[in-house]
Amino acid sequence: MSTDPRIAAELARLAGASDRRLREYDRASAGRRRQWYRERFAARPVPGRDPLEQAYRLLLARLGIGEEDAPVAEKGPDRLVFHSRNFCPTLEACRILGLDTQIEDTEDNDDSLDPHPTTERR
């Protein structure tokens, strides 16, 4: 068991959670991200030259990190890849528990940090 209390708290929350419970956590997290966005950016423009840079800047702001913690590795017309170096207790807990962090409820998460959300799937 991890000695870091943040990881221990996530292990306690996630260990043995059903798929349904994990989806509930995911939806609640997406709701918190949408609320955060509404409180900080809904009435003003998100900084950035294009939608990808805006989404990147929004993500950095949400995580409270700088570009040095998540440098851009690749950028194309419709793709931006960054390598995050910031600590995440949830990710560490998922690794310990063997949970797949790539699975997401796209209905709730795809647009939760999009500066220009739409209902159309990309």
pLDDT of residue 2: 62
61: DSSP letter = H
Going from N- to C-terminal start, the domains of the chain cover 5-109
Count the Cβ atoms, other than its own, within 10 Å of residue 41: 17
Query: Is residue 31 within 8 Å of 52, Cβ to Cβ?
Result: no
Query: Is residue 98 within 8 Å of 90, Cβ to Cβ?
Result: no
Q: What string of pLDDT tens digits covers the 122 residues of the chain?
A: 568 999 999 999 999 999 899 889 989 999 998 999 899 888 888 888 899 999 999 989 988 999 999 999 999 988 999 998 888 899 999 999 998 876 543 444 445 555 444 433 33
Phi, psi of 35, rounded to the nearest 5 degrees: -65, -45
Global pTM exceeds 0.75: no
Query: Is residue 78 within 8 Å of 50, Cβ to Cβ?
Result: no
pLDDT of residue 41: 83
